[in-house]
Amino acid sequence: MSQAIFVPDGEWLIPQPNACGPWFPGVQHGGSIAGLFARAIERVESDVEMFTTRISIDMSRRVPMAPTKVETEVVRDGRRVQAIEARYIVSDEVAARATATRIRVDEDLSSEKIGVGSRPEDRPPMQPEEVPDMEGLFVGFDFVRNFVMRREQTPSGGAMTWARLNRQFVQGEPNTPLILLAAVADMVPSANSVLDYREYLSVNPDLNIAISRLPQSEWVGSLAVVRTAPGGVGQTDAQLFDEHGVIGRSIKSLLIDHR
């Protein structure tokens, strides 16, 4: 793996040039933000094993490429359900916020006992090896270069995308499944997939991820549908996969504007 996306410096994490987003110079990509929120949330200690079922992120302001850390607070510490609030601190100011829900893991409640299993319709419509590599990434999409990306339009009008991290998210640390899932969830196609990116920008001021299980493969896929409406608003709704089947869903609002 080549250069990491963030490099630790004491309690701070220093974003590298490949943490930058495509729309504004000197601003972190939403995938960088989502990945660091996931890293902080899964590090919150608990007396019992917890599984993160939801992460909701507010990115309604630009987040500078400057020293960063994430602070977390457990606002509800139940035995079965835990609620977490997180703050994305950049140069001592809150630049983004997130909330998360975690549910206790009970090994006695196996899928065999409660009658839940995979369904044929939960399988991804295309496997990574069936999807062509993305060619000619646009100038400025630095964060996307951290991934091996493959994308194919589907007959229904959506886009099947597979992504695999090709470097460490944080230098010296393994890329956990939750970090990978959160980062990829922000990269699902936005309005720039249906509009000319040279004329329009498409920014998501939020990201909502519902998680049914963590990815069990290096590849995370998304089957996304983009909807736009008059007035410069839109939404991306995506089903998330690993190579074995559905693992969750992501929804993000879209702000569409002239460049």
SS (H, E, C) 137-192: CCCCCCHHHHEEEEEEECCCCCEEEEEEECECCECCCCCCHHHHHHHHHHCCCCHH
Q: According to the model, what pLDDT value does residue 109 have?
A: 78
- Residue 148 maps to a domain: yes
Q: What percent of the chain has pLDDT over 90?
A: 64
* Number of structural domains found in the chain: 1
Q: Is the pLDDT of residue 139 over 50?
A: no
Q: According to the model, what pLDDT value does residue 142 have?
A: 76
- Residue 32 maps to a domain: yes
- Residue 115 maps to a domain: no
CA 144 – CA 193 distance, rounded (Å)? 14
Amino acid letter, 155: P
State the residue range of the domain holding 185.
6-105+121-258
Kind and range of the H or E run holding 35: helix 30-42
Q: According to the model, what pLDDT value does residue 148 have?
A: 85
- Residue 217 maps to a domain: yes
Q: What is the pLDDT of residues 19-47, one digit of tens each?
A: 998 878 899 999 999 999 999 999 999 99
Angle at which helices 30-42 and 177-186 pack, to 10 degrees?
150
Q: What is the dihedral of CA 250, 235, 224, 31, to 10 degrees?
A: -50
Cα 248 to chain centroid, rounded: 11
Paired tokens of 151? 């994308």
pLDDT band of residue 118 (cuts 50, 70, 90) is low
pLDDT band of residue 103 (cuts 50, 70, 90) is very high
CA-based nearest residue to 134, from 191, 176, 187 = 187
Cβ(156)–Cβ(195) under 8 Å? Answer: no
CA 20 – CA 3 distance, rounded (Å)? 14
Cβ(144)–Cβ(193) under 8 Å? Answer: no
Residues near 193 by Cβ (< 8 Å), separated by ≥ 6?
Answer: 159, 226
The mean pLDDT of the chain is 89
Q: Is the pLDDT of residue 76 over 50?
A: yes
Cα 104 to chain centroid, rounded: 22
Stated length of the chain: 259
**Counting beta carbons within 10 angstroms of the beta carbon of residue 12, is it exposed (0 to 12), middle (13 to 18) or buried (19 or more)?**
middle
Cβ(165)–Cβ(180) under 8 Å? Answer: yes
CA-based nearest residue to 160, from 202, 112, 220, 115 = 220
Q: Is the pLDDT of residue 2 over 70?
A: no
Give the domain CATH number at 14.
2.40.160.210
| Residue whose pair of structure tokens reads 């902080």 in the numeric block | 40
pLDDT band of residue 1 (cuts 50, 70, 90) is very low
- Residue 113 maps to a domain: no
Q: What is the pLDDT of residues 42-66, one digit of tens each?
A: 999 999 999 999 999 999 899 999 9
Across residues 69-91, what is the average pLDDT?
96
- Residue 173 maps to a domain: yes
- Residue 200 maps to a domain: yes
Residues near 80 by Cβ (< 8 Å), separated by ≥ 6?
Answer: 103, 104
- Residue 114 maps to a domain: no
**Counting beta carbons within 10 angstroms of the beta carbon of residue 2, is it exposed (0 to 12), middle (13 to 18) or buried (19 or more)?**
exposed
Q: According to the model, what pLDDT value does residue 44 have?
A: 97
